Structures are given as structure tokens and as C-alpha cells.
Structure 1
Amino acid sequence: MTVFALIDGNSFYCSCERVFDPTLAKRPVIVLSNGDGCAVARTPEAKALGIRMGQPWFQMRDLCRTNKVAVFSSNYALYGDMSARMNEVYRLFSPAIEVYSIDESFLDLSGLGGTDLVAHARELRATVRQWTGIPTCVGLGPTKTLAKLANWLAKHDPERGGVCDFREAGPREAAMARIPVGEVWGVGSASVGKLEALGCRTAADLARLDPYLARQLLTVVGERIVWELRGTSCLPLEEVAPPRKGCAVTRNFAGRVEDLATLQEAVAAHTTRLAEKLRHHGLATDALTVFFHTSTHDAGPQHAASRTVTLPEATNDTLALLRAARATVAAIWREGFRYSKAGVMTMGLIRAEEAPRPLFDGLDRERSARLMGALDAVNARWGRGTLVPASTGLTRAWATRFEHRSPRYTTQLDELPLARA
């Protein structure tokens, strides 16, 4: 019998902060998005205060101050490293792992023979907690959708001790009758209304829905969900991550940007980072989307600008992408607005070595490869941003603020935690 486990970190970003500061153990903690814009992680104590996911920081600043909430800026260097450490532990408990997100992984436990899988899951949780300090929950099921649903119940039912087993049909169906249909993996907010109109209010109701009707209502994804909820596995474990389909770098500004030169500088910095990501994954793009907009929370006129430019050929050359990005900003810029955010995005990525050549090839690929290789080597050796194009700016007054960021305890030598006797 196929058995999947879905394990994830509880309030993962907040738990990472708590690992290195024991005084936060019982204190409400939140982590803010890039630019300290809104809440992206909350502990149960913070949720109890009424802090909502995605709530803007300026709306809850006074509430956090009054209730002594510990507030942190996103520290992705720390969170990414802690995630990698957790996955190393997982590999001791399963031969096959799919890293689904920074705080979630699927494990294939099918080949463990007569092992008591619930006890195995409890040992996994205990080991992760002991070795990394991160609390987790585990869901078990014959399909990935059921494992994820079991994980949800493990979080919300304290009596289960952090582990929920959905392998047996009887107990599973009884539990699913109490789980709202919106908690099923793959059922978005738009789909909930359609399903509730048909009387599907719980996960059990959705499992009983005619698969053909589910396909008509929610496309092939909906049909697949129904079969998975019935215990028929349709989603295999993806041990090798599929190729990226898109890439983006977007940031809020520290203040408001009102002049073209500063906006071009910011977009140039974002484009430089985008190009680094593409080269890191061995990808290239032949289309670039540039956007910037004002904040809906600001008084005054609003404006949002966006344009996609097609490149002569697919590339990951920083300089080629910079030329396209800066020209696009100039073309869609409008005076008289106070911009709060800008970004660059690309879709339809292809492997760099598979990029088609144009009939009239004007790019010296060998020279480009040597230059980009040298650029990446310097930044890898001395730290990101050591060597960058001048168009990305020197002072960067617009740069995203991280006013509450904790040290990068595990990846930055001069920020390692200190122990005093």
C-alpha cells in the first residue's frame, strides 16, 4: 500500500526566530513580508490577538506595541537554511522525499514494511524538534491530498499529538465530515462557492461528488482531487523538482519613489537579481515584464504601469536584460505619482543550452558566458552584491527596509550566536 507523509513546520518563520531566542517561547510572534509590509507568519498567541494573515503592518503597529508582540522582518537566509537542515533529518526516515515548499515536504513511507508508521512519524517529529528546534506536525495517508488533509487536522486537533493517520477509510471518512471543503488541498476560494452551491460543504462531501461533475466544475484538477480523497493516488512523489516556469523579483520601496532615475535604478537592481537566479538554474528567457505601482493605502492619485518586452533571443545575460528593462521603464513612466513597489517577471523559461539561435546572431555568447561567469564567481566568493552594474546604484535609498530582521545565525560568520558561560 502506498503511504505518504506530509510534514511541515508549525508557524515556520516564527519558529525559526524562537529557536535562537528562548525568551520568545510563550510570547506572540509575527514575521513581516518583504519591506515590512504585512504579516506572513503568526504564532497561535498572535492569532489570538486578532492579527490576520496579510494584515498591513501599519494597521497593527499599535496593537503589537501594546501586547508586546515580537515583530521580525523576513530573514530568508535563516529560514532557507533551517529548512535544509530539517530535510536532512527527513532523509533519515524516508528514502524518497519531495520538498514541496520551504516548510513542507512529502515523504514516501511505502517501503517500510511492518514498521508502526504512527510511531515512526512521532519519532520523526521528536528528532526534528531535538536536532533543529522546530515543532512540526505530520499527516499520513494513501494519497498526497489525504496526507495534506491529515496534516491540517494534526495541527487543529491537539488530542492527536501532532500526528494524524488517514490510512484507514472508516476513521478518515468520519474525520473528513468535520473538515470544511475549503481546507482541501487544491480547492481555492473561488471553488468553495461553486462546491457549496452543490451542497459540498465538507471534505467528505467532496469525496462523494461524481468525478465527472467535479471535472466539469473544477477542470481535471477537481476530478483528480475527488479520486485522491477516495484513496486513489493520482499525484506521484516528485523527488526531482520540475523546471521553473517563471521567475520574479519584486520589492516594496523603503519610501515613495517620484523620479524616473530612482525607479530605473531600482528596476535595474531587481533585473540584476533576476538574471542571477536564471543563471543559477541554467535557464534563459526571451520575454521580460516590468511593472511598478502606487500604494492603495496612500492618499492621492493612483497609477499602475506594466509592460512585457520581447527580446531578440532567449538569454540570462545581465547586461542584455538590463537594457530591455531600463528602456521599458522609460517607455511606461508617468510623472506625478508616488510609486511604492516595482518588479520584474518572466515566464516561459527554457534551458539556456536549448535556446534557439536567431538567423542573424548578434550576441557573442562566449564573451557573455565568460563575463557572467566572472561576475557570479566574485559575488559567490565575496558575497552577493559585491560586483554589480553601476546602473543598480550605490546608495540605494529606495532599498527595501528590514527594520526588524534578526541575525542570519546559521549562514553569516559575523552574525553567529554567542554562548557565554
Structure 2
Amino acid sequence: MLESFRYNDGCVIARSAEAKALGIKMGEPYFQIRQKLRQHGIFAFSSNYALYGDMSQRVMTILEGMAPVLEVYSIDEAFADLTGMPGSLERLGREMRARVLRCTGIPVGVGIAQTKTLAKLANRAAKLWQRQTGGVVDIRKPEKRNRLLQVMDVSEVWGIGRQMTAHLADMNIRTAWDLAQADAWTLRSKFSVVVEKTARELRGTSCLALEEQVPPKQEICCSRMFGKRLHELPPIREAVASYTARACEKLRAQHSLCKKVRISIRTGMFNPDEPKFTKGIICELPYPTDDTRLITKAASAGLELIFRAGFAFSKAEILLLDLRQRGEFTDDLFVATPPMAAERVMGVMDAINARWGRGTMRPAGVPAKPDWGMRREMMSPSYTTRIDQLWTVT
């Protein structure tokens, strides 16, 4: 069985190794390759964010119990500081991999090195040559590190994208080894301090410390494609209210306040038969707030200003700007101030949704089952997050 995941049932956004080998490309429209998938026995699934989030939390919980310090870098990546751990670190890496596989069924790769960039490269090697390495690669010894750097293309290095790869090729830097040997100050003057740090990290000099506590985001975005084209203002207003509520949940989760909100809408950009339109507007709030009601009101007012009849809209985006922590700003005596009860109301709503599920309590403008919602007609069961979808044994 092969897998190919799809966002909004529109295009391929993730592929198994087997799907890649059969030539399934990232971003391909699903309707164009539907028959090809069937011919090769590839199963396509809609995005299931609740399941992904839950499984990610389970994996990170296992790793936190085996490492003294852990930085959760993304939904499927983490850095662990193993300084001072007794015994063989390679053996510990294999124990981590085995425990995650046993408890979640998810195979992972483990890379061990002196720096974050080298650890990422070792992890990449563990995935590329899983059969030979058993999914664990330790490159702390200089000879192993150098051998890996010499066989890895520079594009495999963490943070080196397609354009940077082309620029580095002009300098005859084609492998990770070439980048590690390049003059750091030249890289800094020609590109940036980030590329300089990358080169130093490849040499074994740590420039990127572990972040045990993730700093608050400076911007919070919630953006979704509609499940179908929308031509009227009311359903778009519902979608905007829904996206705003989700963005405000993230805002309160990091204990931040928002002073500006940007709302934008656009039509589909790839159908030559549809007229194109995109527009956004920034709305100033009367005071820094995390109140979903006030931010939704501002976003709705901005939507009415940018909406144009006669277009088939496919997407809306909410962007919370000018974020600040409580106590990091000085109130103005001559402007409005937030009601004392607003914070308590939002706290109660978040507590209810945390206990009974997201959307249990929501703004009146957000429907429970909108007809414009994201299409996920082939979503896999939520085995770990919904009791009505648990496996049954007969």
C-alpha cells in the first residue's frame, strides 16, 4: 500500500518513498493523476490535522522521557541535547527509535553530531540509507563526519534552498564538504550571516543553541482554501470569522495581544477561464487585545471594504500583526481600554473547548458544519482522537 496525502482534496502535498519512486510529483493536481494512482495501487488520503497533531505529541512525549533537554522544532522534528548522558549515544539513539516505533508505529531517523546542522545531515543519511544504518547515524568522529560531508550534495544541508544551491554552484560549492571548507567571512559578505553559521556548524562549531522554550511568534496567520468557490459575501464572512477564531486561539495560547489584523481574499489563480482578483487590508484595533469578538468585528469590517461582487473567491487569510506580551506596552490614558470581563470570557471559552473539543463554544458567526469548509472526503479515521473511530476487534 502506498500513500499520497492531499490538501483540500486538490493537490499532492506529501508522498511516501514508493509514491516518489513512481514519479508522483509534489503539488500535482489530484484530478490529473487520479487514474495513475489507481493503476499503481496508490491510496490518497485527505489531511487529518487532529491525528497528525496527536501522534506528534505522543512521539515528543516519548523523546522527552529519554533526553534531558528537548527542543520540538516542528510537528515531526526535534533536537535533543545528550550532553552528559552515560553509555553509548548510538545505542541510546537506537533505543529511542525502537521505543517510538513500538509505542506509535512511526519509524523515525536519528542523527547524532556536535551541532544542529550536522545532526540534521546525519538524520538525512539515516533516512536515505536506512537499511545499512538501521535508521541511526552517529558522525561525532571526524572521519565519519568528513566522509558524509563529501558524499552529500549541498542542497541536502539544512537551510540551503534551491536558489542558494544555484548561487553556491557558481562558486564551485557543490557538496556539503565544499561548503564546510569555504571561507566563512566570504560567505557572510556574499550571502548572509546564516550561511556563514551553516558553514561553521558543518565544521563542528556550534552556532545554534537549543531553544527549550519557543519564543512567541511575531505574526499569527490562519489561511485556508474554501471547499468550493464562493461568490457571495455572507459565506466568506463566515469563513473569515472561523479563521479569526482559530488565529485568536493561537494568540491566547502564547499569551500575546494583537493591535492590528490583516484580512485578504483572492480568487483561484490557475484557471485561465476565471477572472483574477486579490486584495487585502490592515485594520487597526482600538487597543491591544486577544478578544475574538473584537478582532472578528474588525476583520468583518475590513472584508466588506475589499469584497468585490462578480468574482469566484477561493481563499481567505487572517494575519494578526503588531503582537506584544502583556506588560510590554504602556496604556494610553486617552484611548479606549479593554473591558475587565473580556479576559475572563475568553478564558472560559478556551477552557470549555480544551475539555470538550474545539468548536464546542464558538462565535455565533461560525457555523458548526459550513458548506464552504475544506474538502476532506478521503480522510483517514482519527483512531487516537475520536472515540467513535477506535479500532474494533471481533
TM-score using structure 2 length: 0.95
CA distance in 2, matches of 1:373, 1:116: 47
Q: 1:51 aligns with which of 7, 15, 24?
A: 24
Residue 10 of structure 1: aligned partner: none
Residue 184 of structure 1 is matched in structure 2 by 157
Contact between 2:287 and 2:337, CA under 8 Å: does it hold in 1? no
How far off is 1:223 after superposition? 1.0
Query: Is residue 313–residue 358 contact of structure 1 (8 Å, CA) maintained in 2?
Result: no
1:84 aligns with 2:84: no
Q: For 1:142, which of 107, 114, 137 is the aligned residue?
A: 114
Verify the 8 A CA contact 1:256 1:339 in the aligned structure 2: yes
Deviations 1:239-298 (A, max 9, x none): 112222221111111110111222112111111111122112211111111111111232
How far apart, in 2, do the equivalents of 1:141 and 1:348 lie? Answer: 38
1:386 aligns with 2:360: yes
Partner letter of residue 116 of structure 1? S
Aligned mates of 1:186, 1:30 — CA distance in 2: 25
Letter in 1 for 2:73: Y
Do the aligned partners of residues 265 and 356 (structure 1) sit closer, same or farther apart at CA in structure 2, a change above 3 Å counting? farther
Q: Does 1:245 align with 2:212?
A: no
Distance 2:369 2:99 in 1: 45
The answer to whether the 8 Å contact 1:246/1:347 transfers is: yes
Aligned to 2:317: 343
Q: Give the match for residue 48 of structure 2.
A: 75
Q: Note the C-alpha offset of 1:395.
A: 5.2
- Tell me which residue corresponds to 1:215: 188
Q: Which amino acid aligns with 1:212?
A: W
Count of residues in correspondence between the two structures: 392
- Taking a change above 3 Å as real, the CA distance of residues 138 and 257 of structure 1, as seen in their structure-2 partners, is same
The answer to whether the aligner puts 1:124 opposite 2:96 as a matched pair is: yes
1:353: how far off?
4.5
Q: Deviations over 1:32-85 (max 9, x none)?
A: 22x223222211111122112232322322222222211111112111111111
Conserved 8 A contact 1:82-1:132: yes
CA distance in 2: counterparts of 1:98 and 1:123, whole angstroms: 19
Does residue 1:300 correspond to 2:274, yes or no? yes
CA distance in 1, matches of 2:24, 2:212: 36
Structural mapping, 1:283-322, within 5 Å:
283-298=256-271, 299-322=273-296
RMSD: 1.7
Cα deviation for residue 99 of structure 1 reads: 0.7
What TM-score do the two structures reach when normalised by structure 1? 0.89
Partner of 2:227: 254
Amino acid at match of 2:142: A
Shift of 1:145: 0.3
Q: How far apart, in 2, do the equivalents of 1:347 and 1:272 lie? A: 15
Whether 1:371 and 2:382 are equivalent positions in the alignment is no
8 Å CA contact 2:287–2:338 kept in 1: the answer is no
Q: Distance in 2 between matches of 1:310 and 1:188?
A: 36
- Conserved 8 A contact 1:194-1:217: no
Residue 286 to residue 119, structure 1, CA distance change in 2 (3 Å): same
Q: How far, CA to CA, are the matches of 1:249 and 1:385 in structure 2?
A: 16
Q: 1:287 to 1:364 in 2, by over 3 A?
A: closer
CA contact (8 A) 2:228 2:314 kept: yes
Which residue identity lines up with residue 343 of structure 1 in the other structure? E
Give 2:299's aligned amino acid.
Answer: A
Give the ranges of 4+ consecutive aligned residues of structure 1 lying more than 3 Å apart after TM superposition. 352-356
Which of 246, 249, 269 in structure 2 is aligned with 1:276? Answer: 249
CA distance in 2, matches of 1:42, 1:111: 38
Q: Percent identity?
A: 42
Structure 2: any 5+ residue segments left out of the alignment? none
**SS of the residue aligned with 1:177?**
helix
* Partner amino acid, structure 2, of 1:405: M
Q: Distance in 1 between matches of 2:169 and 2:295?
A: 47
The alpha-carbon deviation at position 233 of structure 1 amounts to 0.5
Letter in 1 for 2:274: G
Task: State the SS of the aligned residue for 1:171.
Answer: helix
SS in 2 for 1:233: coil
Q: CA deviation at 1:394?
A: 5.7
Quote the residue 2:39 is aligned against.
66
2:268–2:274 CA contact under 8 A, matched in 1 = no
Local SS of the residue matching 2:78: strand
